[in-house]
């Protein structure tokens, strides 16, 4: 497990936003820790058509803070 900080995909509202929020995503938001081998799809409009898969420690300038569960 690794600490996740603001600006990283694990805390971004676009991380896995195309599917229902899983317990794993909720846990990342509440603990700010994630398994770095996890992959999920980025739902940012500029990436969604490409089906970009990112890890919780990835990031980009499209970051928006995820709403807390
Ligand atoms: S790639 Fe950018 S927009 Fe997509 S989940 Fe990560 S920080 Fe958010």
Q: Are 48 and 18 in contact (CB under 8 A)?
A: yes
The torsion defined by the Cα of 24, 7, 57 and 44, in degrees rounded to 10, comes to 70
Q: Does residue 2 have its Cβ closer than 6 Å to ligand 1? A: no
Report the distance separating Cα 39 and Cα 33, nearest Å.
14
Q: Does residue 58 have its Cβ closer than 6 Å to ligand 1? A: yes
| Spacing, Cα 44 to ligand 1 middle (Å) | 7
| Spacing, Cα 48 to ligand 1 middle (Å) | 10
Q: Does residue 11 have its Cβ closer than 6 Å to ligand 1? A: no
Q: What is the pLDDT of residue 25?
A: 95
Q: What is the pLDDT of residue 67?
A: 86
| pTM of the full structure | 0.93
pLDDT tens across 10-68, in order?
Answer: 999 999 999 999 999 999 999 999 999 999 999 999 998 999 999 999 999 999 999 86
């Amino acid at each position: 497990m690794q600490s996740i900080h603001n600006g990283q995909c694990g805390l971004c509202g676009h991380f896995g936003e195309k599917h229902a929020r899983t317990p794993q995503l909720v846990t990342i938001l509440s603990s700010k820790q994630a398994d770095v081998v996890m992959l999920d799809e980025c739902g940012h409009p500029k990436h969604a058509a490409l089906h970009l898969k990112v890890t919780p420690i990835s990031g980009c300038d499209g970051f928006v803070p995820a709403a807390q569960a």
